[in-house]
Each structure stands twice: as C-alpha cells, then as structure tokens.
Structure 1
Amino acid sequence: MQLQFIDGNLNAHKYLDEILWPIVVLFIHLHYLMFQHDNARPHVARICTQFLEVENVLVLPWPAYSPDMSPIEHVLDALDRRVRKYVPVPANIQKLRTAIEEEWDNIPQAIINSLINSM
C-alpha cells in the first residue's frame, strides 16, 4: 500500500481534493467496496459527505469517539513507535517522510494481522 502524505493540516477541502476524489472514489468503484473512515471533522464535513453520496460511495456508519475500533489506528500507532526510535531524529520533513516510508515497508504483515485480529 502506498502512503499518502498531505502537506500542512488536513481540512475538508484537502481531504476531498487530495484523498477522496483522486484515490478513494476510483479504488472503491474498481473493487466494489464500502468505505470506512472515522468521525474526524474533515471526514464528516458536509462537502465530503455530499460528495460521497453523489459519487455513490457507500460509507460504513461509524460510532462517535471510537478510534480503537479502527485497525489502521493500531497500525499507525505501531508505525509511530518504530519511527520514534530513530536516533538522530529526522532533521527535516523529507527525512521524516523517508523514515516513515521505510518503517511502513518494514512492518511485518504478521504484526499487522495480529493488530487487526486483536480487535
């Protein structure tokens, strides 16, 4: 899976323009899937929910305040712990991106599966 980096803070317009439109819609329609995201403000903003409705993307209903129900949260936590072990700390954004990509590629699939299965 390719990591997607967003420059700056994620807001509803960036979420729509840089994630939903170019990545999610095509992938969902190609594979006939239901989409899952949490209740972060950019995800549930009117502009994004209306866009997903117009594009006929089925969205899994998600209870409020339930981050531990999402397997990706556990995987990202493991990724964060791996990157925080870097000494010296990455000195700039590009070095941090490189460290994140390297660690993402190095997380064993067995760990990801165990995090998902632990739910």
Structure 2
Amino acid sequence: KDNLKSSAQRLGLGRSWVFQQDNDPKHTSKVVIEWLNQARIRVLEWPSQSPDLNPIENMWKMLKKQVHVRKPSNLTELHQFCQEEEP
C-alpha cells in the first residue's frame, strides 16, 4: 500500500504496468484484493503458489542441497558455504 505505486513510478514503468505476485495467502486476502481493485492495479493471473514456475525458487533449492552436503556446523560456516557455492 505504501510502496507499490511509488516503486513503479521510480522504476519509470508508466501507467500500463502489471503487478505480479506469488498468490501467497497474505497477498490474496480480501483486504488486499479490494485495495488492488480500488487502486486500479492490474494483477497478472498466476497459478497459486507455484515455486516450479519461479526460477529463484529452483536456485534456492539447489543451493540448499549443495550447502547441506558440506554440513555447516555454525552460522559462520553456513554463510561461507553459501558464498562459495556456484549457481
């Protein structure tokens, strides 16, 4: 509510942009849907909670597997291993 339109404006998207979200329940609540309609924000039709359609979710899964194999024993190692893994 506080940032969506101003972010679109700062990005120079003009008036014809379409908002894409992941259909998480907090994004599809009645109050959010009503606000989007009142604010005249077009929302891209998108399958409900589809991580397979979101490339970043696949990247996180691969990183998690690669780091898990290395068995970090503390937060410092976890951070280090995440930084060292290649996409």
TM-score of the superposed pair, with normalisation by structure 2: 0.56
SS at match of 1:60: coil
Which stretches in structure 1 are left out of the alignment for 5+ residues?
1-19, 112-119
- For 2:30, the aligned partner's letter is R
Count of residue pairs brought into register by the alignment: 80
Q: Match of 2:72, SS?
A: coil
Identity %: 23
Q: Which runs of 4 or more aligned residues in structure 1 lie more than 3 Å from their structure 2 counterparts after TM superposition?
A: 78-86, 105-108
Give the structure with higher Rg (CA). 2
Which structure features the higher share of helix residues?
Answer: 1
Q: 5+ unaligned residues in a row in structure 2: which ranges? A: none
Distance 1:42 1:77 in 2: 23
Which residue type is aligned with residue 70 of structure 1? N
Alignment partner, residue 20 of structure 2: 36
**C-alpha root-mean-square deviation of aligned residues, in Å?**
3.3
Do 2:51 and 2:58's aligned partners in 1 also have CA atoms closer than 8 Å?
no
Which residue matches 1:60?
44
